[in-house]
Amino acid sequence: MILETKRLYMREMTRSDFGSICRILQDEETMYAYEGAFSDDEVWEWIDRQVLRYQKLGYGLWAVILKESGELIGQCGLTMQQWKDSEVLEIGYLFRREYWHKGYATEAARACKRYAFDELGAEEVCSIIRDTNTASQKVALRNGMTASDTWTKHYRGVDMPHCRYIAVRGRKAYEFRAVIESVPDKGGAYIRFPYDIREEFGKGRVKVKATFDGEPYCGSIVNMGVKHADGSVCYIIGIRKDIRSRIGKQPGDEVFVTVTEAEDS
């Protein structure tokens, strides 16, 4: 066993996992970001590539096992990937379709991020995701990553624009759910940041990169005279009307929020 979380553990993949890996790599819907399902030969090559990575680097994509059943439900791990003119350390994840939308990918990816920082001593780790793969992009955001840059890869004869999401050692990231609140008589809206930013950042106003249900936003956490019920200072982040429209949310609705401090803050 390499890593363990509340519901999962990760171990090295072996050739005996061929049948289970086929259930992932030969599913058309799961593999849409790869332009289709793999052949048997491609699955064998995929497994052998991970084994070679274990031997050469000490890590690769690992088999993800569901503790309660002992079943292999996905793969997640760390690999070196080409990005423009250099190689970068990436967290990758692929799960069987019947285990989507249960938080398993996020749970495994977070464990891999901790491993990259704590065990490998990495200063930065990323996830490289096709621009149409919104589900995987949301996992990256829940893993405390922020969108960085884009690049077009060429695979199976197709040009595939990809986005790179990064997490940097020591850069604080927050995620939480919040109710959208309205600004009376002004048509605006905001969410409450559930921490004291003076304690977190050492200042009373901070520039941040945020997402609301995966929709990116650059702005500031501020205090605009809003207070908690007990009278204490409350810090807020505005959520623009165009963003509310794109995510289909209005005041009174709950939204999933991620926040990281902007580099130029």
pTM over 0.75: no
Question: Is residue 228 located within the same domain as residue 208?
Answer: yes
How far apart are the C-alpha atoms of 35 and 160, rounded to whole Å? 10
Question: Is residue 179 located within the same domain as residue 213?
Answer: yes
We report the CATH number of the domain holding residue 90 as 3.40.630.30
Question: Is residue 11 located within the same domain as residue 64?
Answer: yes
* Residue type for position 87: E
Strands of the sheet with 189-193, listed across from one edge? 181-182, 189-193, 235-238
Best CA proximity match to 145, nearest among 162, 125, 119: 125
Range of the domain at 233: 173-261
Question: Is residue 44 located within the same domain as residue 86?
Answer: yes
Question: Is residue 111 located within the same domain as residue 204?
Answer: no
Residue 117 main-chain phi, psi, to 5 deg: -80, -45
Question: Is residue 44 located within the same domain as residue 159?
Answer: yes
We report the CATH number of the domain holding residue 239 as 2.40.30.100
How far apart are the C-alpha atoms of 265 and 255, rounded to whole Å? 25
Q: Which of 168, 190, 205 is the last residue of a domain?
A: 168
Question: How many CB atoms are located within 10 Å of the residue 75 CB?
Answer: 26
Q: Which of 168, 197, 213 is the last residue of a domain?
A: 168
Question: Is residue 48 located within the same domain as residue 151?
Answer: yes
How far apart are the C-alpha atoms of 143 and 148, rounded to whole Å? 14
pLDDT in tens, the chain (265 residues): 999 999 999 999 999 999 999 999 999 999 988 889 999 999 999 999 999 999 999 999 999 999 999 999 999 999 999 999 999 999 999 999 999 999 999 999 999 999 999 999 999 999 999 999 989 998 988 887 888 899 998 887 889 999 999 998 877 778 788 999 998 877 899 999 887 777 777 777 888 889 998 888 999 998 877 777 777 778 899 999 999 999 999 999 999 998 888 876 5
Question: Is residue 8 located within the same domain as residue 88?
Answer: yes
Question: Is residue 155 located within the same domain as residue 186?
Answer: no
Q: Which of 122, 148, 168 is the last residue of a domain?
A: 168
Alpha helices in 119-256 (DSSP H): 134-142, 197-201, 241-247
Domain count, the chain: 2
How far apart are the C-alpha atoms of 11 and 28, rounded to whole Å? 25
Question: Is residue 162 located within the same domain as residue 131?
Answer: yes
